[in-house]
Every structure is written in C-alpha cells, then in structure tokens.
Amino acid sequence: MPALLFLHSLLGVVLLVAVLGLALGGVRGFFRPLPALFYRVLRGAAWVAILQVVLGFLLLWAGLRPKDGLHLLYGLLLAAGLHYLGGLEPGGWFHRGLKDPPRRPEVFVALGLLFAVGLVLRVYFTGR
C-alpha cells in the first residue's frame, strides 16, 4: 500500500511539471503548427494521467480517501481532457473522427492545455 501511495504521489508531481511545460510549449500553437514530437509528449502525459486515475481508484478501494472528494472528479477530467487533446493532432484519432475538423487544431490544443493547468493545480491541491 505505501508503494502505491508513493507512486501515485510521484506521478502527480511528474504530471504537474509535464502539464505546465506542455502549456508553455503549447502557446506556440496560437501562432504556428505544433510539431509531432509535441503531440507524442502530450499523449504520454495523457497516459500518465490515466495511470494516475487507476492508481487513485485502487487507493480509494483500499480505503484511502483524498482530503476532498472533488480530487477524483478533477483527476478524471484532466485525464480525459489530455487524452482528447492528444488526439487532435492532424491525422490523429480524434481529429479524424470529427465531422468538420478544425483547420487550426493547435489553437484548441493551446487553449485546452491552459485549462489543463488549472485542472492539474486543482487535482494536486485537493488531494493533499
């Protein structure tokens, strides 16, 4: 149990730093297309967030609860949001599935990442 709690905490810090870094890099999307490497890192951060949610629910089922129950909701929302933002890459799974995909998905990715910064901060501070 302590190992799961430590891993959950460690991944939380990694996710906090990653989302802040991605948001700073994503601001370029307002002005020009984002490189494929950016989307790969974004999808990696999304998988870290998904693993974080799975670990969080394992800890919940083991009897450890966060200080605030909204921590779980914020975590789910962050993981889903990052997953969809990673799919907005031109040719990505979400971009292909849209009826009318945006011509400049980078703008939506940049805006979504700025929103994700607020979410990751809420997740981090409601879980402590």
Domain that holds residue 93: 2-126
The pLDDT score that the predictor gives to residue 34 is 93
The pLDDT score that the predictor gives to residue 31 is 93
Count the domains in the chain: 1
The pLDDT score that the predictor gives to residue 50 is 96
Tens of pLDDT, residue by residue, the chain (128 residues): 788 889 999 999 999 999 999 999 999 999 999 999 999 999 999 999 999 999 999 999 998 888 888 999 999 999 999 999 999 998 888 988 989 888 899 999 999 999 999 999 999 888 77
Residue with tokens 């490497």: 37
Q: How much is the pTM?
A: 0.91
The pLDDT score that the predictor gives to residue 126 is 86
The pLDDT score that the predictor gives to residue 68 is 84
